[in-house]
Structure 1
Amino acid sequence: MSDSVLKRYAGTRVPIPGLGEPPEPGDDLADDLGCFSWLRGMRERSPMLEFRLKDGRSIAYDYALLRKVVFDPSEGITLKFDEETVRIEGRNLALEATPGIHLLRGIQGHRVPWVRELGEAELIAAGDRVTVVERLAFDAPG
């Protein structure tokens, strides 16, 4: 292999004209909306959906494995991944958190990188028109 080919592909990255600078590590590309986050860019998509539990644990699933999204106002949002089911329970799960942004549509469009259970104090302080995630339930095949 010639040195010029190696240098060409292994050298420092130069930004592509018109695309701007690549994001710096630590740049926040998502808005934190309390119990979930939303990717800012119109074309941004998250590769994984992370579930953050009250006890500090975190579980992430590949969005490519998401096969079905079911919304029932009395049960919440049910996500069917290949072999597992995740249920998001709470209130106002299909309402807009801010204009044009809501949890249900964000998950359907892969725009939500994480969802978080709220603590007891946050649940009490949340308003009536705020999206609230009270519980995340995980069901493995039995």
Structure 2
Amino acid sequence: MSDSLLDKYVGKRSESQDTPSQPETDGFEDCGAFGWLRGVRDHAIMLEIRHKNGRITALGYAWLDSAEFDPSEGITLRFSGRTVKIIGRNLNGEVRPNIRLFDGLVRHRVPWIQEADGSANLQAPQGAAIIEEIAVK
């Protein structure tokens, strides 16, 4: 009995321990204009805003006071002390089944958004969400 107890803690390894574990994959899906956290319970801590010129701004979701979508004006996010205006096309369109930009922002499932450069804007498929401009004030 002591041999099996000793084997349990320091001796023989089971077959499941011998097989290499699956490599970790990123926890988000790239939807072109934005990232989407895959896990049902996953939530982003901050929203990373990627501008065309390479500048990046990150704002904490904890300070998101309100979010508004107006089809003619875009998405307005109000963080304490700052306003983010997102202008583009299909901002509330379903880019994949059950994946919408505004819905993801409201539920903190979007870790990053990015402005499209000229070529990405022209080459995007018909139903894709395109962010033409992000203004942080």
TM normalised by structure 1 equals 0.79
Instruction: Indicate the SS of the match to 2:95.
Output: coil
The ranges of structure 1 where at least 4 consecutive aligned residues each deviate by more than 2 angstroms after the TM superposition are none
1:83 aligns with 2:96: no
- Give the alignment of 1:65-104 within 5 angstroms: 65-104=63-102
CA RMSD of aligned residues (A): 1.4
Matching residue's letter, 2:53: D
Residue correspondence of structure 1 range 57-68 to structure 2 within 5 A? 57-68=55-66
Question: Can you give the 5+ residue segments of structure 2 that lack an aligned partner in the other structure?
Answer: 1-20
- Give me the identity figure in percent: 46
- Between the two proteins, the alignment pairs up a number of residues equal to 116
Name the structure with the higher helix share.
2
The corresponding residue for 1:42 is 40
Take 2:136 and 2:50, find their aligned partners in 1: how far apart are those partners?
A: 12
Tell me by how many angstroms 1:138 deviates.
1.3
TM-score, normalised via structure 2 length:
0.81
Is the partner of 1:97 in helix, strand or coil?
strand
1:55 aligns with 2:53: yes
